[in-house]
Structures are given as structure tokens and as C-alpha cells.
């Protein structure tokens, strides 16, 4: 889902999302590493992305398999936002840049 919705690569072996390619100014690596005692697999995480077109990215995420937690809406003292759940149980907040 991440690749289709956000144009990123998810590496299950290391539990990280890769944006862009190394070396470049566009490269960014986000590692998910929330483990419970006795469990070597990362657990669900909560994180957010700034996006250029909130409605479009939100729709692409749903089409790629995300579930809607909150549709795009305005929030006092924050950018316009929405929230989705990915198939792995992560909660992803999207913020209009």
C-alpha cells in the first residue's frame, strides 16, 4: 500500500520506509521499531506525513488498501488533516502542506 499511495518503499526485513534513493537530498528513512517483550516483530505505530494534496493522497491510500479513520477535515491550530489505518495496523495521519 505505501508504494502505491505515497511513492515509498517498505522493507519488511528492516521494518522501514524509504523515500527517494541514497545519496540524494530527497532520501529519508523512517524505521518502525516498537517491540513488545518476547516479540521480535515491530508493533503498530502512529506517524504522519505532510502532503501537497490531502484529498488526493487520502483517496489513493484508501484505493491501495488503507481504512479510513478520519476523513479530510479542518482542525483548529493545525493544517487540514485526515487519518488512515494501513493493513499492518499502523495509524497514519496526513497533513496538508
| Rounded distance between C-alpha atoms, residue 43 and residue 83, angstroms | 18
Supply the pLDDT for residue 20. Answer: 78
Q: Per-residue pLDDT tens for 48-86?
A: 888 899 999 999 999 999 999 999 999 887 889 999 999
Average pLDDT over residues 16-24: 76
| Rounded distance between C-alpha atoms, residue 69 and residue 42, angstroms | 21
| Ordered structural domains, the chain, with CATH | 2-33+44-96 (3.10.180.10)
Whether the pTM exceeds 0.95: the reply is no
89 band by pLDDT with thresholds 50, 70 and 90? confident
Supply the pLDDT for residue 1. Answer: 65
Q: Which string of DSSP letters, residue by residue, matches 75-97?
A: -TTS--EEEEE-TTS-EEEEEE-
Model confidence at 26: pLDDT above 90: no
Supply the pLDDT for residue 42. Answer: 58
| In the chain, % of residues over pLDDT 70 | 79
Amino acid at each position: 500500500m505505501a508504494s502505491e499511495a505515497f511513492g515509498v518503499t517498505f522493507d519488511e526485513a528492516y521494518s522501514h520506509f524509504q523515500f527517494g534513493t541514497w545519496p540524494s537530498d530527497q532520501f529519508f528513512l523512517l524505521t518502525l521499531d516498537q517491540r513488545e517483550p518476547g516479540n521480535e516483530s515491530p508493533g503498530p505505530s502512529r506517524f504522519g506525513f505532510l502532503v501537497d494534496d490531502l484529498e488526493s493522497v487520502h483517496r489513493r491510500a484508501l484505493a491501495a488498501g488503507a481504512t479510513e479513520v478520519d476523513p479530510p477535515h479542518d482542525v483548529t491550530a493545525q493544517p487540514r488533516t485526515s487519518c488512515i489505518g494501513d493493513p499492518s495496523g499502523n495509524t497514519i495521519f496526513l497533513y496538508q502542506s
